[in-house]
Amino acid sequence: MNIRTICLAILAHGEASGYDLKKHWEEGPFHHLGGASFGSIYPALARMEKDGLIRSREEVQPGKPARRVYSLTETGYQAFIDEMSALPEPDDFRSHFGVITLCARHLTRDTLARALDERVRQQKAEISKLTPIAEIEKDRPVGWLIEWGLAIMATEVAFIEKNRARLEAFAGTAGPGDELSICCLPDMPAVKQQSTAAE
């Protein structure tokens, strides 16, 4: 799922300028579903207009810079429906926290504890921010999605608080020279061989 798809999805809910789209991403429900920068948005809009998916008009406003406001064409709305009707692709997910936990053996207990504290703090802050919004939005799809996110974040916080001691016990059990295999999946002989056959 690329920037173009999300632009279509936002524009399907109303016309918007490039600046509006960025605001949606930073402050609205799309924030948690993937970021976007001006460096992506403006070229994407230009491409989509060239492809006939959107049209634009200049809007002069008193006291503010002029806006270029985009809206979907019929072709664009159809493209939007097509992309939303396709079977959902697996999520793209990249987690610094996850990598830190995988490398627990190489960290000090304090460092690891600080990472876990920070993660719990982040998730709790997000839960506090979103809980009242879920209530306000409960009669719209966005409310459903926020509840989905809240359920997941609550599970994560509970999991960490219950199991953190088990992870912290790994801290400091590896150093620069050690070659520990990360895992031992049945389909990954290369990893095992490599860590046992080293030298």
Within 9-48, the residues that bind a copy of itself by CB under 8 A are 9-10, 12-16, 20, 23-24, 27-30, 32-35
Taking CB under 8 A as the criterion, the residue among 4, 44, 45, 119 binding a copy of itself is 119
Q: Any residues with CB less than 8 A from the CB of 57 and at least 6 apart, and which?
A: 68, 69
36, 21 in Cβ contact below 8 A?
yes
55, 49 in Cβ contact below 8 A?
yes
Stretch that binds a copy of itself, among 38-46, 53-61, 93-101 (CB under 8 A): 93-101
24 binds DNA (CB under 7 A): no
Please tell me the distance from the alpha carbon of residue 10 to that of residue 14, in angstroms, as a whole number: 7
The residue among 87, 81, 89 whose CA lies nearest residue 11 is 81
Q: Which does 68 bind (CB under 5 to 8 A by kind): DNA, a copy of itself, none?
A: DNA
Q: Which does 84 bind (CB under 5 to 8 A by kind): DNA, a copy of itself, none?
A: a copy of itself
| Cα angle 178, 164, 96; round to 5 | 65
Residue type for 17, please? S
34 binds DNA (CB under 7 A): yes
Question: What's the min distance (Å) between Cβ of 155 and DNA?
Answer: 26
- DSSP letter assigned to residue 101: H
Within 134-153, the residues that bind a copy of itself by CB under 8 A are 136-137, 140-142, 144-145, 147-148, 151-152
Residue closer to a copy of itself by CB (options 43, 140) is 140
Query: Which three-class secondary structure state does DSSP give residue 185?
Result: coil
Binding site for DNA (CB under 7 A): 2-4, 17-20, 22-23, 34-40, 42-44, 47, 61, 63-69, 190
